[in-house]
Amino acid sequence: MAVDERNCIKVDRNQSTNIDGVFAAGDCACWGMQAATAAGEGAMAALQAYRYVRRVKK
């Protein structure tokens, strides 16, 4: 999985990593390093994972 120079997992604005179907959120992606941002990113990652599974299953 791609990480940056701080060893943080690289994600795009949909919390997608460089691996298809793998999402990351919260401190491991090092964006906000706060509980509220981790929760928001986690919600986005879960939504995108749901969409990914729905897409792949069809």
Ligand X SMILES: Cc1cc2nc3c(=O)[nH]c(=O)nc-3n(C[C@H](O)[C@H](O)[C@H](O)COP(=O)(O)OP(=O)(O)OC[C@H]3O[C@@H](n4cnc5c(N)ncnc54)[C@H](O)[C@@H]3O)c2cc1C
Question: Is residue 1 close enough to count as binding ligand X by CB under 6 A?
Answer: no
Question: Is residue 14 close enough to count as binding ligand X by CB under 6 A?
Answer: no
Q: Cα angle vertex 12, ends 3, 24, to 5°?
A: 60
Quick note: the x/- pattern for ligand X over 21-50, rule CB under 6 A, is -----xx-----xxxx-x------------
Q: In the complex with ligand X, which residue's Cβ is closer, 7 or 57?
A: 7
| φ and ψ of 20, to 5 deg | -55, 125
The residues binding ligand X (CB under 6 A) are: 26-27, 33-36, 38
